[in-house]
A and B are shown apart, each in its own frame.
Chain A
């Protein structure tokens, strides 16, 4: 297929908290499918989207499936560029230590675990977004 020759930069922008609406879950579903297409994929978490990566999520009380562990599999799907909007964390009184650690394994360095997370300012994020070919916002 001709798709194999084209590698575009895809960014998935996650803006909503994880359970109030279905956007977070269905965004993750597209992200996992996109991994099969060998594109240059990155994920951004901004606004309430930063809540998607909170540690220790408990969903028993709301009767919904806790899908937060799926994010830790992103590294296995070769998705290793995760951008977190620093101002969004600040505005919510959060820091990186409140979020899951996301890692990928570097084959070239004996499968050393490396962090996928990049803490960026909004100004930096806007630069990075500008470099993308496809931005999907959920």
Chain B
């Protein structure tokens, strides 16, 4: 089955992103295809490479990044939600006159149309949120 994933909460504060990560791993193991993972609301905070959780804890952002790399998963961060919360790639930083970017490898910033498209193209769209 082709699955779209929507994550609406940030890392650590809520379990949503952890649960989504476990879900995606389990789905891949069962042979399902992940069409796209879309990060919205505070979910965009999953994409910052500047987070430094304690060493004995999981690093959710790194886990998404390596999962995306290993399985070619499309990780998309909503541009409007990201701008509000200070999540920027190089292009966005330059466009908005900011002195740095902070997006982790494997994530890309794009529009909400990518979420709607995932809803259209995937067999199921699964939301992880509050």
Proximity bits, A1-35, B CB within 8 Å = 1, else 0 = 00100101010000000000011001001100110
Q: Is the CB of B127 within 8 A of A34?
A: no
Q: Which residues of B contact A34 (CB under 8 A)?
A: 112, 116
Query: What class of interface size applies to chain A in its complex with B?
Result: 20 to 34
Of residues 78 through 130 on chain B, the ones whose CB sits less than 8 Å from some CB of chain A are 80-81, 111-113, 115-117, 119-121, 125, 127, 129
Pick from B81, B111, B121, B127: contact of A136, CB below 8 A.
B127
Q: Which residues of A contact B129 (CB under 8 A)?
A: 137-138
Q: Which residues of A contact B125 (CB under 8 A)?
A: 134, 136
Say whether B8 faces chain A, with CB atoms less than 8 Å apart.
Answer: yes
Of residues 105 through 138 on chain A, the ones whose CB sits less than 8 Å from some CB of chain B are 133-138
Say whether B59 faces chain A, with CB atoms less than 8 Å apart.
Answer: no
Q: Is the CB of B41 within 8 A of A30?
A: no
Of residues 22 through 57 on chain A, the ones whose CB sits less than 8 Å from some CB of chain B are 22-23, 26, 29-30, 33-34, 36-37, 39
A8 to B111, CA, bound (A): 20
CB B8 to nearest CB in A, in angstroms, measures: 7
A138 to B130, CA, bound (A): 8
| CB-CB nearest in chain A for B114 | A33
Q: Is the CB of A33 within 8 A of B111?
A: yes
Say whether B7 faces chain A, with CB atoms less than 8 Å apart.
Answer: no
Q: Is the CB of A10 within 8 A of B113?
A: no
A22 to B44, CA, bound (A): 13
With A23-B41, A136-B6 already in contact, the answer to whether A30 and B120 are too (CB < 8 A) is no
| CB-CB nearest in chain A for B81 | A26
A133 to B125, CA, bound (A): 9
Pick from A23, A33, A137: contact of B116, CB below 8 A.
A33
Q: Which B residues contact A (CB, under 8 angstroms)?
A: 6, 8, 40-41, 80-81, 111-113, 115-117, 119-121, 125, 127, 129
